[in-house]
Chains A and B, each alone.
Chain A
Amino acid sequence: MLVLSRKVGEAIKLADDIEITILAVDNLRVRLGIRAPRHIDVRRTIPEISMGDANREAAVLADPAEKDVLLTQAASAKNKES
């Protein structure tokens, strides 16, 4: 991995046609501007991986009979709560 530091407003260039500009930095958040040809697929890898894991954990493959009653029970419990 190549590690480098840039200031806000500075950019890095990948190959001839991809440019990544540091737009803003605040605390834990960095805003990036990415200029690349249309065929370059830009993905947010890190959150995507953890979101994917969380989604897989939450996915329900349960039997239809159970699915049929679960959210009705949830709604009645939630309504009782409020």
Chain B
Amino acid sequence: MHSNLLEEPPVDAIRDKIIEFRDGLPGFPASRQFVMAQKPDERPFVWMHSISDPGLAFALVDAYAWDKDFMLEVDDAELEEMGSVDPMDYAVYFILRIQKQNNRTTLQAKPNAPLLVNVRNRQARQVTVSLSPSLEKTEALCLQL
């Protein structure tokens, strides 16, 4: 069984709240808890601040706002481990890579490793998705500032 996570997620439920990566965030095993900070004019972007390492943060974007055609297929077993198999309980984010060159800032998403957040119990996990042509399209989307 697979669940397609499609709908606009209930992001409001986790704004300014602590989410927890029970298995750690890959690359940052010591940082398990993060605060999702979003000012009204930052929507659909979010800063994910580490609790244990106050200098560490990630820029995230709501996956469906970044690419309206994005579809994520996740194993129900994976969702079950996170406490709910109801797709409506999940927010999906891409971690953004911020690159600066010649006074231009470029934001690019990593669509093959989205963050899933159960907005009810605030459990989070980074999942891997195999690269497909549609994901490559999502990866090619860049935002220039």
Contact = CB atoms under 8 A, between A and B. Distances in A.
Interface of A: 28-29, 44, 47-49, 51-61, 67, 70-78, 81
B143 A71 contact: no
Contact of A74 (B55, B113, B128, B143): B143
17 contacts: A29-B130, A44-B128, A48-B26, A54-B27, A55-B95, A56-B27, A59-B27, A59-B58, A60-B57, A61-B56, A67-B47, A70-B98, A70-B145, A71-B39, A73-B145, A78-B61, A78-B65
B42 interface: yes
Counting contact residues on chain B (CB < 8 A from A), the size range is 35 or more
Contacts of A71: 38-39, 42, 45-47, 59
B115 to A, nearest CB: 10
B144 interface: yes
Given A51-B113, A75-B41, A58 B96 contact: yes
Contact of B145 (A51, A58, A60, A77): A77
B97 interface: yes
